[in-house]
Amino acid sequence: MLYCNDVMATLLGKPKEEAVGQLQKDLLRDAYNKSIGIKINADNFDDWFDEVERTQRSVEYNQFETDTNEGQYYNVTRMTLSNGMNVVVGPILPNKKPS
């Protein structure tokens, strides 16, 4: 992660200063193992993450809703750049209730 704002830090369940410099997989695995931040409903983290990576490689742009273990909902827009980096574009907006 090259940059992390407060909202992304909430999704990751850690201070933004700790998130910067870490890999996406490591950040998400930590959230999964500690059941904090983004809710990952999977029995096997590696299988879940492999599916996330396949989606990120095959879909250049997507929007989705995610929730956290703390009960917050967010709308997220993600884009994959030509160099393979993922960028969350636009604001990550808290959503008062799931759609």
pLDDT digits (tens, 9 = 90+) for 39-96: 999 999 999 999 998 988 888 888 888 888 988 888 888 888 888 778 775 556 666 6
Please check whether residue 15 is in contact with residue 41, taking contact to mean a CB–CB distance below 8 angstroms.
no
Q: How many domains does the chain have?
A: 1
In a domain, 1, yes or no: no
Q: What is the pLDDT of residue 97?
A: 62
Domain of 58 in residue numbering reads as 6-95
In a domain, 87, yes or no: yes
Q: What is the pLDDT of residue 95?
A: 63
Beta pairing, strands 86-88 & 93-95: unpaired
In a domain, 15, yes or no: yes
